[in-house]
Amino acid sequence: MSNLSTTPHGNLSRNGFDLLGWDPFRGLFGNWGSGLGVDVTRTESGYEIEMPVAGFTPEQIEVTVEDGVLTAAGKSDRRSFRRSVVLPDEIDTDAIGAKVENGLLTLTLKLHPKAQPKRIEVKSVSVKSV
């Protein structure tokens, strides 16, 4: 299993990973997010990232995905921010959600349906007597 590493610019790179027991966001914000209150939570269907964006309106925030890189950026008259992360292949980039509420940007990253565990029903077979 490989860890994600942080570049000098705060962007993340991955060296490969193992989906079982793999947590792509372990240490994700270790270098550039410490003290910023960024919170990453594993959910049943993927991941949820929350970061403070107090003072920014939804219109001042842009979230993009290009070539497997998710970028959240904001710009106002007084300040700006930019955070990027390389997404693993298991994230469904067409199903990423973003919302701003009470000064908090929440990004919802869902796994591709094929990457999610599937429960297989175990059937009982009754033996007929002869």
**Percent helix / strand / coil, the chain, rounded to 5:** 5, 40, 55
Determine, yes or no, domain membership for 121: no
What's the token pair of residue 123? Answer: 């059937």
Name residue 65's beta-bridge partners. 70
Determine, yes or no, domain membership for 124: no
Per the structure, the count of domains in the chain is: 1
Specify whether the CB–CB gap between 90 and 112 falls below 8 A: yes
Determine, yes or no, domain membership for 18: yes
Q: Which residue has the tokens 């994700």?
A: 28
pLDDT 10s digits, 33-90: 444 567 888 888 889 999 999 999 999 999 999 998 899 999 999 999 998 888 888 8
Q: Enter the pTM of the model.
A: 0.63
CATH for 40 = 2.60.40.790
User: Which has the minimum average pLDDT: 12-26, 61-75, 108-122?
Assistant: 12-26
Determine, yes or no, domain membership for 123: no
Determine, yes or no, domain membership for 37: yes
